Amino acid sequence: MNDYVTPYEAKKTTPEKIAQHVESGWVCGSDIGLSAPPGIIAALDEHVGEKDLADVYYHTLLDWLPMGAYSEEYPGITGVSWFSGGFARKAVNQGIADVMPSYFRDMPSLIGEQNQIDAIFLAVAPMDEFGNFSTGPSAALSEALLKKAKRIYLEVNNHIPRSVTGPVVHLSDVEALCENHVKLPDYPRPELDMVSKQIASYIAEEIPDESVIQFGIGAIPDAVGLALREKRDLGIHTEMLTESMVELIDAGAVTNEKKTLHRGQTVASFAFGSKRVYDFIHENEALTMLPIQYINDPSIIRQIPSFMSINSAIEIDFFGQVCAESMGTMHFSGTGGQVDFVRGAVLSPGGKSFLAFPSTAKDGTVSRIKAILSPGAIVTTSKNDVNYIVTEYGIANLRGKTLGQRTKALIDLAHPKFREELIFEAKKRNIIL
């Protein structure tokens, strides 16, 4: 058997010394969420500031920790967000960071088209006996990044779960590595309010036994997970593995035994949120972690009968145009996988796509159902792709409905205090009589 301990020790250094490799003009990045290594990133910020580096770019997806790339205190490094968390969102709106418009499924190919990626920094599980490091809960873009990057730097963390499948990095391909055994974030789950529970109840009624599901995190997905516990033989094919999904598996509602693809397997591309999820991933042979270009490919999703996709939105207009990534001109997130799953679910035999959200925002002062989208709002899901819309006031399938029929259905889903105004706007535009 090969001895990997000696070369491991030879490449082991500190986060500070890894950061010192970075030079002005470098383009760097990490995979989604927990892939971003906190020790190296903190050291990189200090290095950029101390050496007065310029034009360093760091690409992220679902940023979860503070970093100089999204802070005005470090002008030498600029963040590029492919899907924003809170730090990137704030920085983009301040004008000190940039965004990359993209469908989630297209991100690996766009990485391959980048002119340069000088270095990637990945948080990984400890090395196995064959010299491999598992990227654990982050399988979305790692494969594409590993192929493109000129240099690979690792931060080994024994709290990172080792996935049985998913990308691996071999020691021989690593420029340098460090160890930083810090606990992963364990985010508190939102309290389920009556609005979320009501929305979830409408969705659950539309999901039959043996369906295959996809959803994310938040109050509404958590409520949907709770509402699905009495279902039987559900399957999971999702970009994001969540705690509510693990709960459905533990409750016996998810068995994956009726799936036509990856029978018996929970299939995901990344995980984020709780220790329970990370523990579920570790060496679990019933979990398949795959790159996002496969997970989110509508041509793959459409092959899965009764595929049920549940996502959120910020607002919708009478035509059924859905904005899920901006508040007017204010940046909020990104397209992510919403359109991937909307299209795939609609094409699936018996499949359905649900876009669910409370009827109002800003403490009930603003209707999310509008005659026209807010000025500058980004259209995420087009009027031609939209399927089921759900608020606490009901559920409506917009596919196959005319503009007038859609408008009437959406007004019925709006908060009662806004319906008269919406009817007035519809009549003024001669949409309804």
CA gap 70, 83 in Å, rounded: 13
> How far, CA to CA in Å, does 74 sit from each of 46, 57, 58, 153, 156?
9, 11, 12, 22, 26
Strand-pair category, 394-397 with 388-391? antiparallel
Determine whether 129 is an active site residue.
no
Give me the residue label for tokens 């940046």: 331
The C-alpha atoms of residue 375 and residue 380 are separated, in whole angstroms, by 14
Q: Please tell me the distance from the alpha carbon of residue 216 to that of residue 105, in angstroms, as a whole number.
A: 16
- Answer whether 194's CB lies under 8 Å from 358's CB: no
The CA distance from 187 to 168, in Å, is 26
Closest CA to 339 of 377, 383, 303: 383
| Candidate list 46, 191, 206, 239, residue with the active-site label | 239
CA distance 253 to 256: 9
- Phi first, then psi, for residue 363 (nearest 5°) are 55, 40
Positions marked active-site: 239
